[in-house]
Amino acid sequence: MKKFGFMVFMLDVTLNLFFTGPVSAEEKLRLTGSGASFPFPLYSAWFKNFSRDHKNANIDYQAKGSGAGVLDFINRTVDFAASDAAMKPEEIAKVQGGVVLLPMTAGKIVLAYNIPGNPKELKLPRDVYPDIFLGKITKWNDPRIQAANPGVKLPDLPITVVRRADSSGTTYVFTNHLSAISPEWKAGPGSGTTVNWPSSDKIVAAPKNDGVTATVKQTPGAIGYIEYAYALGAKVEMAHLQNKEGKFVRPSSESGEAALATAQLPENLIAWVLDPAGEKSYPITTFTWMLFYHHNASPEKAKILREVVEYGITEGQKMSAKMGYIPLPANVVSAVRANVDKIK
């Protein structure tokens, strides 16, 4: 009986080794991330291509909004995150072992509008569009909008402002820009990933960039702030905004690159372009960051994340302009590469 029992035991061990043995070299290591919806179309393409070309890794990224991504990152429920608002010092302090913030792409925030009659290239002066979002200008045929658009027939139609419903890096950048050009906005709603919007039944909320885009497209008289790539994809009209030099500038790769050229990148790689100088500069332009742990759960994950960064600043940048984003300037690419080894 003892011999028979031993044989049964050995058979059981053998079967267990067969079915639950070492992980195959072909099995992919899964890394998860969450955060900003602003760069989601581009990041989604990056991660899909990276996962296809690297048989040992699969990258999954959920566009939950910058605020949710930062929270996931602090709580260590993801391997990395993304935020258009970077991270505040008090948020970084909550991450034991340190944080590596790297600007991975850049883009423009546009004012998309839906006006019956479909007027093209609507011009909005820098003292007008803050007042639209403050609820002070409430009709499309307001004299101040009409004065900037002579010859354009604007309807006697209420303006519906569409804002973000979630904690948003796009909101952070947009409200910081408004605070930079409008003392009343700065003293009122101010800036943040969420703000106290004016109380009005003509200010409606929608989640993420795609939600704001869809709401603008479906609502006659609407205007909302969204990332340029979403506006391109949805084929919505985008306003020409007056910049610091008094020029009305359309959102484009060239006007975005002109704005980014004014940025001074500090040691922590967090730079803001809140009201850029230059006649060709588009006024609402920003970098957006990926967030990594200085010390990761495993050497394997750290290695893959370093490879993801290298892919993003090389092959990934080639996709940027085609998808409506701004390729990183050479000095920013160099700074990112110099800091990637901090992901350990």
Residue-level pLDDT, tens digit, the chain, 344 residues: 444 343 333 334 333 433 333 334 457 899 999 999 999 999 999 999 999 999 889 999 999 999 999 999 999 999 999 999 999 999 999 998 899 999 999 999 999 999 999 999 999 999 999 999 999 999 999 999 999 999 999 999 999 999 999 999 999 999 999 999 999 999 999 999 999 999 999 999 999 999 999 999 999 999 999 999 999 999 999 999 999 999 999 999 999 999 999 999 999 999 999 999 999 999 999 999 999 999 987 999 999 999 999 999 999 999 999 999 999 999 999 999 999 999 99
Question: CATH code at 133?
Answer: 3.40.190.10
Picking from 199, 226, 260, the residue at the C-terminal end of a domain is: 260
| 22 falls within a domain | no
**242 and 165 share a domain?**
yes
**127 and 97 share a domain?**
no
What global pTM score does this model have?
Answer: 0.90
| 308 falls within a domain | yes
Q: How far is CA 188 from CA 112, 171, 185, 243, in A?
A: 23, 15, 5, 22
**221 and 121 share a domain?**
yes
**179 and 238 share a domain?**
yes
Quote the CA–CA distance of 185 and 179 in Å, as a whole number. 5
Quote the CA–CA distance of 9 and 59 in Å, as a whole number. 41
| 267 falls within a domain | no
What domain range is 121 assigned to?
108-260
Question: How many CB atoms are closer than 10 A to CB 7?
Answer: 10
Strand partners, 285: 108
Pairing outcome for strands 237-238 and 240-242: unpaired
Please name the amino acid found at residue 131.
Answer: D
Q: Is 324 helix (H, G, I), strand (E, B) or coil?
A: coil
**143 and 252 share a domain?**
yes
Strand partners, 141: none
| 292 falls within a domain | yes
**190 and 245 share a domain?**
yes
| 266 falls within a domain | no
| 188 falls within a domain | yes
**115 and 94 share a domain?**
no
Reported as type and span, the H/E element at residue 175 is helix 169-181
**68 and 151 share a domain?**
no
**94 and 112 share a domain?**
no
Number of structural domains found in the chain: 2
**250 and 143 share a domain?**
yes
| 318 falls within a domain | yes
| 211 falls within a domain | yes
**101 and 114 share a domain?**
no
**151 and 204 share a domain?**
yes
Quote the tokens at residue 44.
């989604």
Picking from 260, 275, 308, the residue at the C-terminal end of a domain is: 260
Picking from 243, 260, 277, the residue at the C-terminal end of a domain is: 260
Q: Which of 340, 190, 335, 341 is nearest to 264 (CA)?
A: 335
Residues 74-77: contacts with CB within 8 Å, 24+ apart? 76/293
